[in-house]
Structure 1
Amino acid sequence: MLEDKIESLWKTGKISQTIYENLKTWLSLGRDRKEIEYLLEHDLEELKDSFSQVIPFGTGGRRGKMGIGPNRINIYTMMESAQGVADYAHSLGIANFSVVIAYDTRNGSESFAEKVASVFLGNGAKVYLFSSFRSTPELSFAVRYLKATVGIMISASHNPPADNGIKVYWSDGAQVVSPHDVGIIEKVKEHNPIREMDLKEGLEKGLLEYVGFEVDSKYLELLQSISIYPQREFPIVFSPLHGVGNTNGFEGLSRKGFSPLYRVEKQCLPRGDFPYVKQNSPNPENPSAMEEALQLGSLKKAKLALVTDPDADRLGVGVFHQGEWRLLTGNQIGIIILYHLIQSMKAKNSLPKNGVVMKTLPTSSLISKIAKKAGLHVVDNLLVGFKYIGYFIENLPPSQTFLFGTEESHGYLLSPEVRDKDGAMAALAMAEIGAYLDRQGKTILDSLEEIYQTFGYHYNEVRSITMPGLAGRERIQEIMSYLREKRPSRIGNMQVKRILDYQEGKEFLEGIEKEFSHPFQGNLLYFELLFPQKPWEGFFVLRPSGTEPKIKLYLEISSPPQKRPIKEQEEEAKQLASQEMSQILKDIGLEKE
């Protein structure tokens, strides 16, 4: 009997107590018996990983591979998520509970959305379900516009095709943070009975309402209202990478009147397997995802290529500069947008004295320097995840005005009416900036060099090491624990001036330990660095990814303004970063990964 085989594995130490308990619970609910039997015989490691934990809320909600078990995205974990949200809302005594649900073009997203809707209907909620795929930022906007209690986005953002996920938003339009995320997971773990109502019955009872045109119109009006420069004649190529970006990115560019405007037509097909994206990886952070857009750009003699990820909350940018295409990093895009936003508002005498700029910890410190020089307030100690920017927007004092938020992983926001990163807003901003500079005979890269000359050169390198499965998670935890306990005085060849441990809430400054307060805990270590090579300085950040089985390393090398050519500084910084990152990987045992 299957249950006996599982018990034997547990008793002989081949599976852990947690895996054993999760398997027993799953089988007791009548789920996936044949699939479990198959994995037991043919792929024990996959079975162990699938049942090793209840898939947690990370930086982007609950996200992961589709498959069986509580550590996979499937119809059960989706419905349990919805039931957990409903139970949590009921526990707070919320009256007139309502939910907005959107979904992207990934495999299974629409059917997942309908199942989630049926659960909320079964729990007596008013449900607003988008009639077809939409972007994550529009979902965030819709929560606020429709005055809903909760928002649900079915998406795995830029993850591989085998993944899907669910993002949960609260009434402020931002993704849930503590205590809501913890409260929801606790309700999920209770395995309360899942209550459902057929969508047809929900329509007949007036509990289900399909939405689209009205919300679209209001959201697109918001996009049109955000403007940095008025120039529009500028050749641009756009691609949604088989995702939803046509609904906000391309539509926004079209309505703004940018011309000529081209699309990568074969990547406009709404396909969850991303067939015309190289390596089927729809992540604008990866140069391979930009290839088709750059090829079309060369054919059409375009000067800017803009690419959004499948749920259109991130933006990749290519700039035609000195006869070739150059890709901007996520940091560089944020730097350009913020600098020109400030310059434009200064010229219009509209820069708020109480304006606030926000960034996450691994994001370039140049963001803070630009904002501070303009007299703006800066919140730059945020954990990774745009939900923290959303939280701080909601909790700004009335005397302050949100101006701009960014994270290095290609996320940007220019309006508090949306509380998540918005690829369309960023696309419109970059298009306007590119057109404005083109009128002056410059490119975005020319402008970036001028910024470096004013503020000093900043180079940021990011490494993502994939460590899949249960063994990978355990190895990542070992690395984090090792550095947390060792508290090294050097990282690579660099002296550590200060360490901030955001999980333990401890600061180590030149060997002296003290506690520091922060609204949120997170498994992140921040090292402030001093380089032996003057005038370079910087920081190093280490954290497990909250959306994929990876450990992420961030290194910044920066200097005050120098008289040397920027190209010379860039080459020196890149060489230094490469050497130091290699040494860091060796020091923590990842040089072969």
Structure 2
Amino acid sequence: MEIEKSILDKVNIWLSPVFDSETHNAIKEMMTSSPKELEESFYKNLEFGTGGMRGIMGPGTNRINKYTLGKATQGLSDYLKISFPGEEIKVAIAYDCRHNSDTLAKTVADVFSANGIKVFLFSELRPTPELSFALKYLNCHSGIVLTASHNPPEYNGYKVYWQDGGQLVPPHDKEVINIIEALPYDKIKFEANESLIEYVGDEMDKAFIQSSLQNATFNTPQEAKNELKIVFTPLHGTSVKLIPDLLEDAGYSNVHIVAEQAVPNGDFPTVKSPNPEEPEALSMAIALADQVNADIVVGTDPDSDRLGVAVRNGNGIMTLLNGNQTMVLMTHFLLEQWKKQGKLKGNEFVGSTIVSTPMMMELASAYNVECKVGLTGFKWIAKMIVDFPEKQFIGGGEESFGFMVGDAVRDKDAVTSTLLLCEMAAQAKANASSLYQELLKLYVEFGFYKEYLISLTKKGMDGAEEIKQIMNGLRENPLKEISGLRVVMVEDYLASTALNLFTDEKEVLNLPKSDVLIYYLEDGTKICARPSGTEPKIKFYFSANEMLNDVKNFKAVETALDAKIKNIIEAMNLI
């Protein structure tokens, strides 16, 4: 195949003496045996998405390697010096169980130290939320996590955090990216100043566990804790470093860990994908739960920022909850606890995202608490805490199985959320209820919101173009009717406009630009389309709702909502 000149120009730069012989040899091998792979490796530069910079490991500008991460770190170092002149700049670095995460983390630490920046590097793999906590605990200016979350084994990634403990947001993100893109590879300083690198571990673990205990325990009687049977799986990831100790310190002794998935392993050998959104990922945990008659199953993704949950339904069968359901349950529990403790003063808020369940608005309204809604990605919820210092943050979540309890951590936190869920489950069981029954009660009180997600995978350069064309088509030929239901409103977050199709009135959306389209139908159904910021996918989110006047009618209403969503999906030719 013929390779474009622009790609060959990049390849030739990577064959210069700036890059090592291992890189040269790998590129030459691709040139002769796999020109398509060479094209995929160089056709663009890795971009910062909703979860930082994430990609396949290997040589090239579109790959995760010592040079792409070295360049990002050099650019960040230069920006930190501009942002904090005259200060002793400090950064924290953590990494997960993925292949090369430890060596890449050391490379990142080397570049920071070579630039005269003090580095706190975790001595072993640790959960992502602990990095956010450590950054604030150590008064650092920035932080890095080497992780690709739940992506396949060939991936790794680079998440950047700022002084507040949250991920990079405007204006810092764009300013850092501009510096990185303008930086030549020969300007990367790889020679470490080892005296500036300090290793951290056990002391930080203890501090983080203590913080989780403070934020996620709510006077659950010890007897209730003893009665709760828990199955936990880290899915070969980092949470095994903290969650067993956290649950023990909190008084939960009846914990069963899935032994086959308890050892960190970047190959994730027992699952197709270490993604708690996928039912298959928790199949071994559910089998163990049935064996020991557990009440709740919790599984975390490799870097332990997201969690999947299964509970027993009304027939005693283990049932997976989706991210919207766990978010609603946890938010309601926190609101109720704050109310009982007299902590609701009128200046509190919870956080959510534009693709998550509208039920969050109903919950917040019932407690006279504001629900702030941001773009997809937890960095926007963390930014709310910074932007509104006069307001008290209670908690917040997003549909993709992430939740944050309080503001000690400024990112989604499966560690603290696991403890919160156990507190909720223990109290429910002690009151002759369950998390499943509590969810149905919420549907009766606030309306039954049913959500569904379709993810279409489109890999590589051709896939990226296909995703672009799908979004362009939706913009150029906007849907005015779907499955017999009229479209009332179209929100285009790339154009920052909300158009009422009934009145032709157009409003300005006050969130940052993002490649997202949301359709609102006349019956309250919500449909969202967006390309993933971390995976080669385009995602379609569906939310339909009906009143539920009695728990006994749950199945009938659920069946009707499922049928409605199915008809909409068929009308949009998505299946």
What interval of TM-score do these two structures reach, taking the shorter chain for normalisation? over 0.9
Name the aligned partner's letter for residue 549 of structure 1.
P
2:474 counterpart of 1:483: yes
CA distance in 2 between counterparts of 1:493 and 1:196 reads 61
2:85 counterpart of 1:55: no
2:500 counterpart of 1:512: no
The equivalent residue for 1:224 is: 213
The equivalent residue for 1:125 is: 117
CA distance in 2 between counterparts of 1:491 and 1:421 reads 34
SS of the aligned residue for 1:551 comes to strand
> How far is the alpha carbon of 1:17 from its aligned partner?
5.4
2:41 counterpart of 1:44: no
Aligned positions of 1:43-122 closer than 5 A:
43-94=34-85, 95-122=87-114
2:264 counterpart of 1:270: yes
CA distance in 2 between counterparts of 1:544 and 1:559 reads 28
CA distance in 2 between counterparts of 1:156 and 1:352 reads 40
Would you say how many aligned residue pairs link Structure 1 and Structure 2? 561
Q: 1:516 to 1:401 in 2, by over 3 A?
A: same
CA distance in 2 between counterparts of 1:289 and 1:494 reads 36
SS of the aligned residue for 1:565 comes to helix
> How far is the alpha carbon of 1:266 from its aligned partner?
2.1
> How far is the alpha carbon of 1:93 from its aligned partner?
4.6
> How far is the alpha carbon of 1:105 from its aligned partner?
1.0
Q: 1:25 to 1:190 in 2, by over 3 A?
A: farther
Is the 1:413–1:421 contact (alpha carbons within 8 Å) kept by the matching residues of 2? Answer: yes
> How far is the alpha carbon of 1:488 from its aligned partner?
2.3
Is the 2:498–2:509 contact (alpha carbons within 8 Å) kept by the matching residues of 1? Answer: no
Q: 1:352 to 1:567 in 2, by over 3 A?
A: farther
SS of the aligned residue for 2:428 comes to helix
TM-score by structure 1 length? 0.91
CA distance in 2 between counterparts of 1:512 and 1:45 reads 47
2:10 counterpart of 1:19: no
> How far is the alpha carbon of 1:76 from its aligned partner?
1.3
SS of the aligned residue for 1:316 comes to strand
Q: 1:229 to 1:20 in 2, by over 3 A?
A: farther
CA distance in 1 between counterparts of 2:414 and 2:7 reads 39
Residue in structure 1 matching 2:571, options 583, 587, 591: 583
CA distance in 1 between counterparts of 2:404 and 2:4 reads 43
Name the aligned partner's letter for residue 529 of structure 2.
L
Q: Which runs of 5+ in 2 are unaligned?
A: none
CA distance in 1 between counterparts of 2:460 and 2:553 reads 46
SS of the aligned residue for 1:418 comes to coil
Is the 2:375–2:511 contact (alpha carbons within 8 Å) kept by the matching residues of 1? Answer: no
Name the aligned partner's letter for residue 296 of structure 1.
L
CA distance in 2 between counterparts of 1:491 and 1:64 reads 36
Name the aligned partner's letter for residue 111 of structure 1.
T
> How big is each residue's C-alpha offset from its partner over 1:5-42, in whole Å with a ceiling of 9 and x where there is no partner?
xxxx8xxxx44454244323323344633323332333
Q: 1:18 to 1:520 in 2, by over 3 A?
A: farther
2:360 counterpart of 1:370: no
CA distance in 1 between counterparts of 2:484 and 2:135 reads 48
CA distance in 2 between counterparts of 1:575 and 1:320 reads 24
CA distance in 1 between counterparts of 2:255 and 2:449 reads 32
The equivalent residue for 2:535 is: 548
Identity of aligned residues (%): 35
SS of the aligned residue for 1:259 comes to coil
Name the aligned partner's letter for residue 420 of structure 1.
D
Is the 1:229–1:436 contact (alpha carbons within 8 Å) kept by the matching residues of 2? Answer: no
Name the aligned partner's letter for residue 517 of structure 2.
L
> How big is each residue's C-alpha offset from its partner over 1:437-489, in whole Å with a ceiling of 9 and x where there is no partner?
11122111111111111111110000111000000000101111111222221
> How far is the alpha carbon of 1:229 from its aligned partner?
4.7
SS of the aligned residue for 2:188 comes to coil
TM-score by structure 2 length? 0.94
Which deviates further from its counterpart, 416-425 or 335-344? 335-344
Is the 2:548–2:554 contact (alpha carbons within 8 Å) kept by the matching residues of 1? Answer: no
Q: 1:507 to 1:304 in 2, by over 3 A?
A: same
> How far is the alpha carbon of 1:517 from its aligned partner?
4.0
2:325 counterpart of 1:335: no
Is the 1:506–1:513 contact (alpha carbons within 8 Å) kept by the matching residues of 2? Answer: no
Q: 1:509 to 1:172 in 2, by over 3 A?
A: same
CA distance in 1 between counterparts of 2:436 and 2:509 reads 39
